[in-house]
A and B are shown apart, each in its own frame.
Chain A
């Protein structure tokens, strides 16, 4: 296991289209997080799963955003009716047991909405 894997690495889509990103966490990690990072900013929290349960969601996660982790392993983040303001790097991270051990982030999916 080489770390957190995200797919695709880059996505260009037209405004109004739907997009879906996938995250495969480190296999033994039961916690999975989604963050969004825009240019020149730090990552912003979107949502968090413990196993398959979505335990916390940010107000940033509008009705157009949905995340799932159906079997407590991989996760998907879907954005419906994309807008130009959705252009960002979408980062997935995973961790085991306690936050104090720190997240392991993936390399992200860069979304460009044109």
Chain B
């Protein structure tokens, strides 16, 4: 059972475009939603995270939008650059647990 569903599986945009990656969850006990970025041969690195008491969080060019009623959240990358080409994972955890449940990932390619 996949607890966090991520889409699309892959995404290609031109430099300067705004890729959007979506995630949906079923477990209403989830209360922490991070996004990780992974380059080939490296471990994932935390990009940005949100709690469900806010609908949007922005850090630099990265924005999380959160829709609690729809149980969905998304990552937007403003003014994307070729260096943003990586695999992006959404994840979730619930209070009292240190375990993160990850989506399957989205491979983003930003063409120059």
Residues of chain B having any CB pair with chain A under 8 Å: 6, 32, 34, 36, 41-46, 49, 51, 89, 91, 93, 97-105
Contact = CB atoms under 8 A, between A and B. Distances in A.
B98 A31 contact: yes
Contacts of A99: 32, 93, 98, 100
Given A33-B98, A42-B105, A107 B41 contact: yes
Given A100-B32, A107-B43, A55 B104 contact: no
Given A40-B105, A99-B32, A102-B49, A45 B42 contact: no
Interface residues of A, number: 25
Given A41-B105, A42-B104, A102-B34, A56 B42 contact: no
Contacts of B89: 42-43
Given A42-B91, A43-B89, A105 B43 contact: yes
A106 interface: yes
B99 A102 contact: no
A5 B105 CA distance: 24
A28 B60 CA distance: 28
Contacts of B32: 99-100
B43 A106 contact: yes
Contacts of B102: 42-44
20 contacts: A33-B98, A40-B105, A42-B6, A42-B105, A45-B99, A48-B99, A56-B98, A91-B44, A99-B100, A100-B32, A100-B51, A102-B46, A103-B44, A103-B46, A104-B46, A105-B36, A105-B45, A107-B41, A107-B42, A108-B42
Nearest to A57: B99
